[in-house]
Structure 1
Amino acid sequence: MAQSLYLASLDTNSGKSAVAFGVMDLLTKRAGSVAVFRPIVRDENTSASDPVITLLRDHYRLSDPYGASVGVTYSDVRDDADEALSRIVDRYHALAEGHDAVLVVGSDYSDVGASVEFTFNTRVAVNLAAPMLLVITGYKQSRSDIDAALRFGVAQAEAAHATVLGTVVNRVEPDLVDEVRGAHPGTGVIAESPALNAPTVSELIDAADATLISGDPEVLTRTVGDVVVAAMTLPNLLTRLADDKAVILPGDRSEVLLGLLAAHQAEGVPSLSAVFLTGGIRPQPQILDIVAGLDSRLPIAVVQHDTFDMANLVGDVTGSLAAGGERKFALALEGFAAGVDGDDLLDRLRLSTPTVVTPIMFEHTTLARAKNLDKHIVLPEGTEPRILKAAEILLRRDVARLTLLGEESEVRSQAAQLGVDIAAAKVLNPGDHEIRERFAAEYAKLRAHKGVTTEAAYDTVADVSYFGTMMVHTGMADGMVSGSVHTTAHTIRPSFEIIKTKPEVAVVSSVFFMCLADRVLVYGDCAVNPDPNAEQLADIALSSADTAAEFGVEPRVAMLSYSTGTSGHGEAVDKVRAATEIVRDRRPDLPVEGPIQYDAAADAGVAGTKMPDSRVAGKATVFIVPDLNTGNNLYKAVQRSAGAIAVGPVLQGLRKPVNDLSRGATVPDIVNTVALTAIQAAEAGSRGMSI
C-alpha cells in the first residue's frame, strides 16, 4: 500500500502550494512512483484546472490522469459531508493502488469558515490513515500569533485522532526566523520570500486585461517587486527606479516612456520589469517606430484603467508559483530546503525503498551528487537567455561554480533585463589580453605539429568554444557545457584538438540518458560517430557501460542490429557480432549481448522466445547502435512517441568533460547537463586525471 502524507493549512495565505512543491520534491527522491491527490476542489476545478494538481503533475511528470487526482467538490461537501467523505476515501484508494507514495493536499479555505474546513480536513486525513503535515502562516504574524496557531492546529488535529507528522511555519518575517525556530525545535520555519509571492508581468497583464505592444515574451515571467507611479518629471522619476519595479505611466506621456526605455538599456541604471500605459492610450505611430528601433526587451502594455485604478489593482494581485516558471520553482525549493529538514521528514514518513529508478529520481540524484562536488563549469554562451536562466538556478541550488563567457557589461545587462540573478557567477571576456596570450602560447605548443603559430593561435583562442576548452585544459575550469546556440562541431572540435581522449579510449563518443516513465536507459552513440568500425563500436560500448555505471544505471549492454543471435549475416550485422566479441574479450565481467534486435533487448516476452538464457535480453539498460543514422532516429523516435526525456548528448572518452547541448535545449536540460558534467569531472579526478 502507498504511504501518504496529508498537507493541510489552518488558513489562507499560508503558501501551501509552495510547501507542497517542496514536499513533492522530497517524495520523488525516495519513492519510485508518486501521485498527488486533492480531496476537495472548487466546483469548476473538476476537469483540468486545479492549480496545485496541474503544477505538480506537469513539473514532476506524474502519469495519472488529472481526474484521478480529484476527490469531490465543495458543493458535494455542503450537500452531504458524510457521503462526500466516503467518495473521497474511495477515489483516494483507487489512485493510491500501484503507487509508492501519495501527497494529499488539503483544501484552500475558499468556501467555508476556516475552523469548519480544518476540521473536515482532519476527518479526511484520519479516514485515509494519512499522517498530517500542518502548515501555519507566518505572514504578517507576530511570534505570539505563530505560537498560538501551532498550539491550536496540533491540538485540533490530535483531538480528531489524526497523526501529526510535523509542522511547518511558512512565510515568516526574516528577522523572526531564528526566534521561531528556537522556540519550536523540529518545526520547519520558512522565511517570507517577496520574489516568490510577487506577481509576474504576465499575471499583471492578465489581471488588468492589458494589451502587450512591445517587449520580449520571455521576460513576461519576470516578477514585479514593486510599482512606481510616474506622476513627475523624468529626472525625478529616475531617482525612484529600482530593479524589478514596474512603472505605471499615463499613456499620453510619450517623452517619459522614451526616457525610461533609454534608461532601462543604460549600464548602471536599475532594470525595470514592465511599463503599463494607462487610459487606453497607445503611443503615436512615430513613437512606436522609435520604440521598435530601440529593440528593447522591456514589456510595454496598454491598459484601459486610469492610473489610480491600475495602481490599486496591482496591489491586489498575488503571484502564483506556476506563473514564474523555473525561477520561482528554484526559489521555492531553495526556501524549503533552508527551512525544513527534508531527510528527517522522510525518515519519519518511513517510505519503503523503491525498486526502480524513475527519471525524477535520476535527476534528483544527479543534482545532489553535483552539489557535493563543488566543481567549476564554464558556459561559453554567456548572453543566451536560456543559459542565464539556468545559471541562476544552478547558483541558487549550489550545483556548481560557474564562469560565463562574454563581455561582462553585456552579460550582466542581459541578465538584468531577464530579471535573473547571476551575481555569484564569474564573467570572463575571451578578448582579455593577458589570458588570451597565455592560451595562445599553450594552444600553439599543442598544435605545433600542425604548423600553428602563436599569432594564428591568438585569433583562434578568442573563439568562445576554444577559450572555454582552454580553461578546462589549463585547470581554470573543471568542465564545459555549450551548444545551445552553436553547432555540435563548433562545441566539441576544440576538445578533440586540446583535451584529447583518455589513454584507454580510441574514440570520443556520446550517450543519451533516456528517461522513460519508470526507468532510465542509456543510448550510445547517437551524436558523434557516423559509421564506427567494429573496434570503435566496442570502444563505444565499453565507454557507455562505464558512463551508465557512473550515474547509477547498472550496465547490461545490448549491441543492436537488425537480427538477433546467429540468424543474420552481412557486413552490418557481422560488424556488430565482431564488436560484441571484442567487448567480451576486454571485459569478461560485463553483461553484453549482440547482435540483438531492440525488441529482444528490451522486452522480456520477446527475449524469452529469442534468447531465453541471456543475461541481457529483455532487461538491457545500455543500447549500442551500429551507426549514427540508426542512433539519431532511435532516440528521437523514443523521445517523441514514448514521451521520454532525452538528457544529452553526454560526451565520453575525453580526459576532461566537455558536453554539447541541443540547440533546442530547455532550461532544465541545461541544468541537468551541467550537473552531469560536474560528476564527470569528479569521476575523471578520481581516476587520477588532472582537473
Structure 2
Amino acid sequence: MSERVIYIASPEGGNGRNVVAYGVLDALTAVARTGVFRPIACRKSPITQSLVEASNAGQSLDDVRGVCPKYAREHPQCVRPDIVSAYYDTVKASDAEAMVIVGTDASHVFNPHSFELDVDIAADLKSPVFLAVCTMRRNGEEVLATVESCRQAIEHGGSAVVGVFVTGCTPEKAADARQALSELDIPVWTIPAVDFPDPEHDDAAERALKAFRDNAPADEVRAAINTPFSPATTPYAFQNKLLHGAKESGATIVLPEGEECRILEAADYLLEREVVDLLILGERDDILKHGDELGLKHLSKARFQSMNDETVLAPMIDKLCELRAKKGMTPDKAREQLKDPSYFGTMLVVLGKADGLVSGSVNSTANTVRPALQVIKTKPGNSLVSGAFLMCFKTHVAVFADVAITPNPDARQLAEIAIESARTAKSLGIEPRVGMLSYSTLGSGKGPDVDLVEEATALVHEQQPDLPLVGPIQFDAAWEPEVAATKAPGNPVAGHVNVFVFPDLSAGNIGYKAVQRASGARAIGPVLQGLNRPVNDLSRGATVQDIINTIALTALQTKED
C-alpha cells in the first residue's frame, strides 16, 4: 500500500485543477515511485493520458481508471465499491509508494452529485484532499466562502483538506485570494491561469510545470501531503478490508442454499475476484444451469457437493452418530437428519471439507444455529452463542450485540457477550470501546434491570481489566460526546463507544433495526460469536451485497482458529 496519497478535488472540475494534478505528480515523482488513479474518467481523457506519461510507476492508460462517467450516473449503488476495488488493484499492480488521485472532470452532462461523490470517494480511499478552487467569477471573499463550504463537506464526509490551490489567478486575483485566505490553518498556493492539456501548444506541459513550480514549492506540497490525519472507515472501505482479509485467509466456505438466486449471484461475484473458495451444496449441473439463466459466468470455479454422494454421506453419518450418541442418534436417524441442507453443510465443516458456513437467506436463524450448536459446539470457556451486527455508518463501524440469539441473558451471560463482541471488533481491526447499555447512566436510574447491567459490567472489569468499558450507560451518552460530557463527565469511554451491548434481545433487535433504517447504516451479520468454527446467519431479507460481506467475514473469522 502506498504511504503518500492525495486526492485532488474541485467544486467545478477543470478550471486549473489539471495544472494542480500535474504539478503535484511532479513534486512526488521527484522522491518516490508515484502512480495515478482516476476514479471517474472517460477512456480517452487527455488529462489521464498526460498524467500517466508523467508518472513513474510504469502504468498503462487502461490500468488507472475506476469507472466511466456514464456508468457512475447510471449505477449509483455500484460506483463506490467498484472504484474502491479498482483503486486497490491499481496500487497493487503499480507497487507505488505514492498515489495521486484526480477527481471528476468537468462535463457537459450536469451531475448535481459530482463533488459530493468526490468527497465520498476520498473518504473511501482514506485519502486527504487538495482542494483546487478557481478565481473565475470569484473575488477573494467568494473564494474563501467556497473553500470553507467545500472543507466542511469534506470533513463531514470523513476526510481532511490539507492544502488549497487557488487557480486561474491574475496577479491581482492572487493577491486578493491570499489576503482573504490568510487566516486559514492550512497551506494556500495561488496558480496563474494555464491551459493544460492544450493541444494547440506543444509546450503546454512545460508551461504548466513552470507555473506550478514557481508558486508551489515541491517541499511544501510534499509536507502538506504528509500531514497526519485520522481517516474514516466508510462502509465501502470496510467492505474492501473484508474482501482483502478473506482473500488472504485461503478459506473454503460452504453455502447450503445453492438453489437461491442471491446466494449464486454473491458466489459469482466472489469467484470472479478469487476472494474465497466456495463449496456449494446441490447438484453441479442443476446449479450451473440456474447460473446460466441468471447470466452468471464464474460459478464453475466453485466446488459442488451432492447431498446424495454416498462417499461423503457414509462417513458423515458415522461422525454424527459419534457426536450425538448420548442423544440416542442412530444411523437411520442421522441419514434422515442429513436431508436438511443446513445440517449437511454443518457436517462438512465438522469433517474438515470446509472452514466455515453461511446460511439463512431462505432458512430461519434457528435452522442455521441449531446444527452448529449440536455438532460444532461452543469454544472452550464459552457457555453460549451470541449474535452481533456490524453497523457500517458513514465514517466508522460499530458492533451491536446481542441482537439475534439470547433472549434474556443473566449477568454472567451478558458479560460473556460483551467480551466476545469486543473480540469480534478487535479481529476486524476495530479497537473496542464497550458500552453496557441501560436506561441508566452510571447510577442515574435504579431498578432490577440496572442492577443486572451493573453486575455484568463488574464481571467484565474483573475478567478483562484492560478493556475500555463503561456501564451502565444510556445509548445517547455512549454515542455522543456532547451528551457524555453532561451525563458521564470525565469518563474516557462515554461518547466514544463502538461496541454496544444491549441488555436483552428485544432491545438489541429493535435497536439495530431502528438505527439501520433511520440512519441508512449498512448492517452486516449477524455474526455468530462463541462457536468453535465460524458459522454465520443471513437475514432472509439479505441483499446480494449483504451476502458477499457475510461470506467474506466468515472467511476472515477462520484466521482466528
- Work out which of the residue numbers 630, 637, 640 in structure 1 matches 2:517: 640
- Work out which of the residue numbers 549, 552, 559 in structure 2 matches 1:672: 549
- Work out which of the residue numbers 1, 8, 16 in structure 2 matches 1:4: 8
| Deviation (angstroms), 1:654 | 0.2
| Deviation (angstroms), 1:153 | 12
1:663 aligns with 2:540: yes
**TM-score, normalised with respect to structure 2:** 0.69
CA deviation vs aligned residue, 1:95-147 (integer Å, no higher than 9, x gap) = 35544379xxxxxxxxxxxxxxxxxxxxxxx9789xx999xxxxxxxxxxxxx
1:154 and 1:572 map into 2 onto residues whose CA distance is 77
Match of 1:75 in 2: none
SS in 1 for 2:280: strand
Match of 1:359 in 2: 235
Matches within 5 A, 1:261-280: none
1:133 and 1:646 map into 2 onto residues whose CA distance is 44
Match of 1:479 in 2: 356
1:417 aligns with 2:293: yes
- Work out which of the residue numbers 444, 459, 462 in structure 2 matches 1:582: 459
Matches within 5 A, 1:422-501: 422-501=299-378
| Deviation (angstroms), 1:352 | 5.1
1:677 and 1:424 map into 2 onto residues whose CA distance is 19
Letter in 1 for 2:208: A
1:376 aligns with 2:255: no
Match of 1:160 in 2: 208
- Work out which of the residue numbers 608, 611, 618 in structure 1 matches 2:485: 608
Question: Residues 504, 152 of structure 1: CA spacing in aligned structure 2 closer, same or farther, 3 A cutoff?
Answer: farther
SS in 2 for 1:372: helix
1:490 and 1:637 map into 2 onto residues whose CA distance is 25
| Deviation (angstroms), 1:650 | 0.3
1:26 and 1:101 map into 2 onto residues whose CA distance is 22
| Deviation (angstroms), 1:519 | 1.3
Letter in 1 for 2:283: E
- Work out which of the residue numbers 409, 419, 424 in structure 2 matches 1:542: 419
Question: Residues 484, 127 of structure 1: CA spacing in aligned structure 2 closer, same or farther, 3 A cutoff?
Answer: farther
Match of 1:572 in 2: 449
2:191 and 2:430 map into 1 onto residues whose CA distance is 35
Decide whether the 8 Å contact of 2:6 with 2:225 is kept in 1: no
1:391 aligns with 2:267: yes
1:605 and 1:12 map into 2 onto residues whose CA distance is 45
Decide whether the 8 Å contact of 1:4 with 1:101 is kept in 2: no
Decide whether the 8 Å contact of 1:157 with 1:163 is kept in 2: no
2:466 and 2:196 map into 1 onto residues whose CA distance is 48
Match of 2:72 in 1: none
Letter in 2 for 1:542: I
| Deviation (angstroms), 1:549 | 0.7
Matches within 5 A, 1:162-561: 354-420=230-296, 421-561=298-438
2:120 and 2:470 map into 1 onto residues whose CA distance is 37
Decide whether the 8 Å contact of 2:249 with 2:559 is kept in 1: yes
Question: Residues 542, 159 of structure 1: CA spacing in aligned structure 2 closer, same or farther, 3 A cutoff?
Answer: same
2:442 and 2:470 map into 1 onto residues whose CA distance is 8
SS in 2 for 1:40: coil
Letter in 2 for 1:659: N
1:405 and 1:414 map into 2 onto residues whose CA distance is 14
Question: Residues 569, 23 of structure 1: CA spacing in aligned structure 2 closer, same or farther, 3 A cutoff?
Answer: closer
| Deviation (angstroms), 1:157 | 3.7
| Deviation (angstroms), 1:71 | 9.7
Task: Show structure 1 runs of 5+ residues with no match.
Answer: 63-68, 73-80, 103-125, 135-150, 165-345, 685-691
Match of 2:106 in 1: 40
Question: Residues 419, 549 of structure 1: CA spacing in aligned structure 2 closer, same or farther, 3 A cutoff?
Answer: same
2:231 and 2:48 map into 1 onto residues whose CA distance is 38
1:450 and 1:614 map into 2 onto residues whose CA distance is 50
| Deviation (angstroms), 1:645 | 0.8
2:204 and 2:259 map into 1 onto residues whose CA distance is 54
- Work out which of the residue numbers 617, 633, 636 in structure 1 matches 2:494: 617
- Work out which of the residue numbers 528, 538, 560 in structure 2 matches 1:651: 528
Letter in 2 for 1:528: I
| Deviation (angstroms), 1:88 | 10
1:160 and 1:605 map into 2 onto residues whose CA distance is 48
Aligned alpha-carbon RMSD (Å)? 4.1
* Greater relative contact order (Cα < 8 A, sep 6+): 2
| Deviation (angstroms), 1:56 | 7.5
Identity %: 41
| Deviation (angstroms), 1:610 | 2.0
2:413 and 2:486 map into 1 onto residues whose CA distance is 31
| Deviation (angstroms), 1:597 | 0.8
| Deviation (angstroms), 1:567 | 2.7
Decide whether the 8 Å contact of 1:27 with 1:101 is kept in 2: no
Decide whether the 8 Å contact of 2:257 with 2:359 is kept in 1: yes
1:18 aligns with 2:67: yes
| Deviation (angstroms), 1:663 | 0.9
2:476 and 2:534 map into 1 onto residues whose CA distance is 33
Decide whether the 8 Å contact of 1:524 with 1:623 is kept in 2: yes
Question: Residues 28, 605 of structure 1: CA spacing in aligned structure 2 closer, same or farther, 3 A cutoff?
Answer: farther
SS in 1 for 2:322: helix
| Deviation (angstroms), 1:38 | 3.8
SS in 2 for 1:537: helix
SS in 1 for 2:461: helix
| Deviation (angstroms), 1:3 | 3.9
| Deviation (angstroms), 1:620 | 1.0
SS in 2 for 1:45: coil
Match of 1:596 in 2: 473
Question: Residues 387, 89 of structure 1: CA spacing in aligned structure 2 closer, same or farther, 3 A cutoff?
Answer: farther
Question: Residues 575, 453 of structure 1: CA spacing in aligned structure 2 closer, same or farther, 3 A cutoff?
Answer: same
1:528 and 1:162 map into 2 onto residues whose CA distance is 65
2:102 and 2:384 map into 1 onto residues whose CA distance is 46
SS in 2 for 1:594: strand
Letter in 1 for 2:451: D
2:102 and 2:458 map into 1 onto residues whose CA distance is 48
Task: Show structure 2 runs of 5+ residues with no match.
Answer: 10-20, 22-37, 50-60, 70-78, 92-99, 125-130, 162-188, 213-221
Matches within 5 A, 1:102-117: none
Moved more, 564-573 or 399-408: 564-573
